[in-house]
Structure 1
Amino acid sequence: MSTTSRLARDPEKEARILMAALTEFSEHGYRKTHVEEIADQAEVSKGLVFKYYQSKENLYLTTLKSATQKFMAIADYNIWQDSEDLVAMVVNATRYKISLQLKFPREFKLLLNAFVQGSQLPKAIGDYVNTTFISNTDLQKKMLTPVLQRSKLKPGVSIDDVYEMIRWIENGYYGRIQEYLGTHPEITSIEDMNEIIEQLTKYFEIFEHGFMASN
């Protein structure tokens, strides 16, 4: 039996450590966060943090998994699957994701930073991010397939082609949403985001229907 498994954990202290880790990692990122700061905020010793989690890398990974599990537990896939068409799906999903971001800002920021910086993080963390978010085609298809199956695709266009193009557009535009939220800290509701959501709607309407006028 390992030292870790023999160590009796104090649930209250463990909860404080993870809460402090969430705050520090989401605010400062992996590289600039120090275990001492997490320990001070959690009101425990630095040694106890290492006894529980062995390393900063493992603490970050545990915090990241906890945030992921929170979102997975509350995620409503019907937002994607029940949309009447591609444009409605993207708009509904974007509104939903922004509402979650406003409700759980630290968890969302942690996950977003891990997604963006995955290649710069330690290998175990990068592998988790890649498997969970980037290469998880099963989850992506679970959300998108019902809508795309109801759509009539042009000859020669596969559902996989559409998956890939949606990812490109969403990933690019999501950076703009983050910039908008960063420069508008007063935003507290999804209604405050109507302008940028309307822009995204316009772009996806062009994507779905084309930009060339019919003769």
Structure 2
Amino acid sequence: MKKFEKLSEEKKQKILQSALIEFSTYGYENASTNRIVERAEISKGALFHYFKSKKGLYLYLIDYVIPLLYDEFYRQANMTITNFFERIKNWQAAKLNIMDKMSLETKFLIKAFTNIPKEVKDDVLTRYAKYTQDGFKMLFENIDFSMFKEDIDKNKAIETIVWTLESYGNKYMKENVDSQGNIVINKEKILSEIEAYLNILKFGIAKPHE
């Protein structure tokens, strides 16, 4: 990718934006390098000169987008909150703001990590594993565990909460898609439903023993 990195920032951004539009709209398998180069106003030979292949371009985009989203998340989220449940709510709000502000990048990454084509599966899963590992590490940093019951496994408790919210997120994305395949974001609804799930997990569902 060294030849690509030597281009002017304006030209690089034009190519990257064109590729992001294509992959976020059509996914990896149906994306057309012809449409990418036409939109970017470069030759197809130049595109493959920079990235070698469609796969090379796609993986470059994943490696390009993830740090962008992380940087924006660090700007928007309150990293000092030590109460786990309050941190979750604050971070979810930050994520929703990012989905609004960086909708193209977010859409691309969601598509990249769901229904992964066989041709790029190993490479994408490697990146996804690191992405989730970094996310878990951030989530556990500086947490005040004094609010957790002493007799429960705190790691398992947090994993249960994260899995619940991931399942809710997947369900929401499947059920709230417009005719162009874009996720319709209703912030108030999402944050309200997340809080409801967190309250169930926080206070439990079983009646106390008589």
TM-score range, shorter chain: 0.7 to 0.9
CA shift at 1:67, angstroms? 0.9
- Going from structure 1 to structure 2, the CA distance change for 1:121 and 1:102 (only over 3 Å counts) comes to farther
1:37 to 35, 38, 55: 35
- Going from structure 1 to structure 2, the CA distance change for 1:7 and 1:164 (only over 3 Å counts) comes to closer
The one-character-per-residue Cα deviations of 1:21-41 (angstroms, maximum 9, x if unpaired) are 111111111111011111011
Residue identity matched to 2:189: E
Distance in 1, Cα, partners of 2:76 & 2:6: 38
1:200 to 189, 194, 197: 194
Q: Which residue of structure 1 aligns with residue 205 of structure 2?
A: 211
Report the TM-score when normalising by structure 2: 0.83
Which aligned pairs between 1:45-84 and structure 2 lie closer than 5 A? 45-76=43-74, 79=77, 81-83=79-81
Distance in 1, Cα, partners of 2:139 & 2:5: 41
Give ranges in structure 1 of 5+ residues lacking alignment: none
Distance in 2, Cα, partners of 1:171 & 1:186: 15
Q: Which residue of structure 2 aligns with residue 158 of structure 1?
A: 153
**Contact persistence 1:13–1:44 (CA under 8 A):** no
**Contact persistence 1:80–1:144 (CA under 8 A):** no
**Contact persistence 2:5–2:12 (CA under 8 A):** no
Q: Identity percentage over the alignment?
A: 20
Give ranges in structure 2 of 5+ residues lacking alignment: none
- Going from structure 1 to structure 2, the CA distance change for 1:80 and 1:120 (only over 3 Å counts) comes to farther
CA shift at 1:170, angstroms? 1.5
1:117 to 115, 118, 134: 115
Q: Which residue of structure 2 aligns with residue 142 of structure 1?
A: 138
Q: Which residue of structure 1 aligns with residue 165 of structure 2?
A: 170
**Contact persistence 1:67–1:107 (CA under 8 A):** yes
* 2:23 pairs with 1:25: yes
CA shift at 1:115, angstroms? 2.0
The one-character-per-residue Cα deviations of 1:133-161 (angstroms, maximum 9, x if unpaired) are 3xx1x541332343352422341x22221
* 2:4 pairs with 1:10: no
CA shift at 1:104, angstroms? 0.4
Distance in 2, Cα, partners of 1:30 & 1:186: 18
The one-character-per-residue Cα deviations of 1:141-196 (angstroms, maximum 9, x if unpaired) are 332343352422341x22221232122112101123324652497967xxx42123
Report the aligned-residue RMSD: 2.8
The one-character-per-residue Cα deviations of 1:55-100 (angstroms, maximum 9, x if unpaired) are 1111011111111111122222883643363332222221111110
